[in-house]
A = this chain, B = another copy of it.
Amino acid sequence: MRLSQSFFYTLREVPSDADIRSHQLLVRAGYIRRLGSGSYSLLPLMQRVIHKIEAIVRDELDRIGGQECLLPQMHPDEVWEASGRLEAYRAEGILFHFQDRQNRGQVLAPTHEEAVTLAVKDVLRSYRQYPVHLYQIQTKFRDEIRPRFGLMRSREFIMKDGYSFHTSAQSLEDTYQQIGQAYERVFERLGIKVVAVEADSGAMGGKKSREFMVLTQAGEDEVLYTADGQYAANVEKAESIFSPAVPSRFTEHHKHHTPGTPTIATLCDFMDCDPTQVVKNVLYQAIFSSGVLVPVLVSIRGDQDVNPTKLSNVLSEMFSGLGSLQSLEVPDADQLKEWTTGELPLGYIAPDLPDSLIAFREGVHGQFARITDFTVSELENFVTGANETDHHVYGANWGGNFQLGYLADVRMAKAGDRAKHDPEQTLLSARGVEVGHIFQLGNRYADRLGLRYLDAQGQEQVPLMGCYGMGITRLAQAIVEQSHDEQGIIWPLAAAPYQVILTVANMGQSEQAEKGLQLYQDLKAAGLEVMLDDRDERAGVKFKDADLIGIPFRVVVGKTIQEGLVELITRQTGEKQQVALEDLESTLSGLCVERKRSDSVC
């Protein structure tokens, strides 16, 4: 690429809508340009980065038997209705959805479990044809509430999504592990540090999933991990050992007038008790796709918080007959009026808040879903509300005064908690960006969409599925977020759009111009990926641009060319060396091998 004959530009100004460094740098260096909300053109330099990442992904997936395909981006409604996801995804608002000229609904797909299942249905009929691992690299769409951070959270983005089909749990587990390892190799080859964490499966369903996170302050997710490297999990999923409660001195059961103590802090202050001695009872309302509203009451220890993701999972399981969970929230006063018969003693609620407070009407479940978190299930002589404003009880006990609800872990783990695998380790917190997520889905999609196979005995069976995502455009930007300095981007060699930028310091000097062009042609012929900066600009401008766009090696053809010498600068280290013209090709080739090795992170 000769800059004088190519589409190339850089910007001095930091774009006003770019909050994080990687976004700013990619815009300034001419890699991406905004077209609309959450929508970016990938300009030629970026497209080369994307191709490099894609090639590595294909290489690693093909190596373990993945087969690339390309499924439609636009799906008729029936496809998503068959799995039961259309309603849930539309309710969430993330689906772009429209009518075609025959007024048939169409989905712009953010994921392809349904489409791939239909692609293999009826033709993957014998157990002998299994397992199968299909993947695609494709633009996906999500109508994000708040698109931001450039390619990190955009409405249109490139994903690698893969799907596997199996006749046994062991086969699924094997492929799941293989793909997880392939992902690790992709990240390693790209020179990006990624942490694998336990994760919640979310709307995808299934039991087991693992996220791959790039740790960065700009991340939207919180990761809890231990210093020994043995544990890492998304905070939505994380588990920990909770601290023991301070033994309670309230050995007798009493109701107490506690005016003005609706919060744990005011209560503990008034009662001179410890938050670990209190059972707090938190109200939620859950709405399911059938339209039914379920009132929820969670009992949890005063020093802990509820994890809405864990609570959602528990409720989805308890009420699977009501359809999928559409929303879960702490109801405000107006919402409470919709389904209660009178005033609730908010701030003073007991675990046995009576069901009679729930309005008897259609669409409202007549009983509280009572969830007891493990933090309180063994608590003794605790303090809790008295179902009467300005009153609490103390010295209460389960079985005696209150009945335990549905026992579950709905607690939010947090930094400082002790780790389950080793109580000596405490959880640390970091922020991360999800660049990959793999799931064991079970048989949900196959079952609903009618995918069946005949086993060795000729019996019809429902196969198991896995699905595997990797955000290609997000990964490209995450690399920049992890690898840059004040001057600009520092591409790891494997992801760099070019390996070498050849800068002619002064195009007015004919010897520099000619030797520059000659070197460009020689290095290209030797198989190196080279940019030639032969623009009619000052040397300082060219050096700044080279640092900004982040090419791993810069070769300057300047005054010393008269002595047959060029200057070679390594972008990452800033290291400079004089190299004789005749040694340049071998030096660069050698550095490329070396750099590839040192970029790789294990």
A interface vs B, CB < 8 Å? Answer: 1, 4-7, 9, 11, 30, 33, 35-37, 39-44, 46-48, 50-51, 65, 67-76, 78-79, 93, 96-98, 100-102, 104, 106, 108, 115, 118-120, 123-124, 128-129, 132, 134, 136, 138-139, 141, 143, 145, 155-156, 536
Which of B11, B41, B71, B115 meets A115, CB within 8 Å? Answer: B41
Contact B98 A41 (CB under 8 A): no
Bound: A489/B30 CA distance, A: 45
Scoring A93, A123, A136 by chain B CB atoms within 10 A of each residue's CB, the highest score goes to A123
Contact B36 A101 (CB under 8 A): no
Closest to A535 in B: B128
A101 / chain B contacts, CB cutoff of 8 Å: 93, 143, 145
A73 / chain B contacts, CB cutoff of 8 Å: 73, 139, 156
Contact A7 B139 (CB under 8 A): no
Bound: A128/B115 CA distance, A: 48
Closest to A58 in B: B51
Query: Could you list 13 examples of A-B contacts with CB < 8 Å?
Result: A5-B65, A6-B132, A35-B119, A36-B76, A37-B100, A39-B75, A40-B72, A41-B70, A41-B115, A46-B69, A96-B98, A98-B98, A108-B108
A41-B115, A44-B134, A123-B30 known; A72 vs B156 contact (CB < 8 Å): yes
A43 / chain B contacts, CB cutoff of 8 Å: 69, 119
Contact B68 A47 (CB under 8 A): yes
Closest to A11 in B: B123
Question: Could you tell me the distance in whole angstroms from the C-beta of A89 to the nearest C-beta in chain B?
Answer: 13
A7-B129, A123-B9 known; A50 vs B70 contact (CB < 8 Å): yes
Contact B7 A134 (CB under 8 A): yes
Interface pairs A-B: 9 shortest CB-CB: A98-B98, A36-B76, A44-B67, A42-B70, A9-B123, A39-B72, A41-B119, A7-B132, A41-B71
Contact B72 A36 (CB under 8 A): yes
A139 / chain B contacts, CB cutoff of 8 Å: 73, 138-139
Which of B35, B75, B97, B98 meets A79, CB within 8 Å? Answer: B35
A47 / chain B contacts, CB cutoff of 8 Å: 68-70, 136
Question: Could you tell me the distance in whole angstroms from the C-beta of A66 to the nearest C-beta in chain B?
Answer: 9
A100 / chain B contacts, CB cutoff of 8 Å: 37, 96, 143, 155
Closest to A7 in B: B132
Contact B67 A6 (CB under 8 A): yes
Interface of A is mostly: mixed
A104 / chain B contacts, CB cutoff of 8 Å: 37
Bound: A208/B129 CA distance, A: 53
Give 5 A-B pairs besides A6-B65, A7-B124, A74-B96 with Cβ atoms closer than 8 angstroms: A36-B74, A36-B76, A41-B115, A42-B69, A96-B100
Closest to A99 in B: B98
Question: Could you tell me the distance in whole angstroms from the C-beta of A446 to the nearest C-beta in chain B?
Answer: 15
Scoring A97, A101, A102 by chain B CB atoms within 10 A of each residue's CB, the highest score goes to A101
Question: Could you tell me the distance in whole angstroms from the C-beta of A83 to the nearest C-beta in chain B?
Answer: 14
Bound: A104/B147 CA distance, A: 14
Q: Copy number of this protein in the oligomer?
A: 2
Bound: A132/B2 CA distance, A: 12
Bound: A118/B41 CA distance, A: 10
Question: Could you tell me the distance in whole angstroms from the C-beta of A287 to the nearest C-beta in chain B?
Answer: 19
Contact A41 B69 (CB under 8 A): yes
Contact B74 A39 (CB under 8 A): yes
Contact B97 A536 (CB under 8 A): no
Bound: A50/B138 CA distance, A: 14
Question: Could you tell me the distance in whole angstroms from the C-beta of A331 to the nearest C-beta in chain B?
Answer: 24
Question: Could you tell me the distance in whole angstroms from the C-beta of A572 to the nearest C-beta in chain B?
Answer: 26
Closest to A139 in B: B73
Bound: A479/B141 CA distance, A: 32
Bound: A129/B30 CA distance, A: 14
Question: Could you tell me the distance in whole angstroms from the C-beta of A55 to the nearest C-beta in chain B?
Answer: 11
Bound: A217/B7 CA distance, A: 42
A79 / chain B contacts, CB cutoff of 8 Å: 35-36
Closest to A8 in B: B129
Scoring A30, A97, A155 by chain B CB atoms within 10 A of each residue's CB, the highest score goes to A155
Closest to A165 in B: B7
A5 / chain B contacts, CB cutoff of 8 Å: 65
Bound: A104/B37 CA distance, A: 10
A138 / chain B contacts, CB cutoff of 8 Å: 139
A134 / chain B contacts, CB cutoff of 8 Å: 7, 44
Bound: A143/B129 CA distance, A: 36
Bound: A72/B36 CA distance, A: 9
Contact A69 B98 (CB under 8 A): no
Question: Could you tell me the distance in whole angstroms from the C-beta of A162 to the nearest C-beta in chain B?
Answer: 12
Bound: A164/B143 CA distance, A: 32
Closest to A144 in B: B101
A68 / chain B contacts, CB cutoff of 8 Å: 44, 47-48, 51
A67-B7, A98-B96 known; A33 vs B119 contact (CB < 8 Å): yes
A72 / chain B contacts, CB cutoff of 8 Å: 35-36, 39-41, 156
A35 / chain B contacts, CB cutoff of 8 Å: 71-72, 75-76, 79, 115, 118-119
Question: Could you tell me the distance in whole angstroms from the C-beta of A317 to the nearest C-beta in chain B?
Answer: 30
A106 / chain B contacts, CB cutoff of 8 Å: 36, 96
Contact A37 B76 (CB under 8 A): yes
Scoring A47, A134, A536 by chain B CB atoms within 10 A of each residue's CB, the highest score goes to A47
Bound: A536/B65 CA distance, A: 20
Question: Could you tell me the distance in whole angstroms from the C-beta of A171 to the nearest C-beta in chain B?
Answer: 12
Contact A74 B41 (CB under 8 A): no
A67 / chain B contacts, CB cutoff of 8 Å: 1, 6-7, 44
Bound: A214/B169 CA distance, A: 50
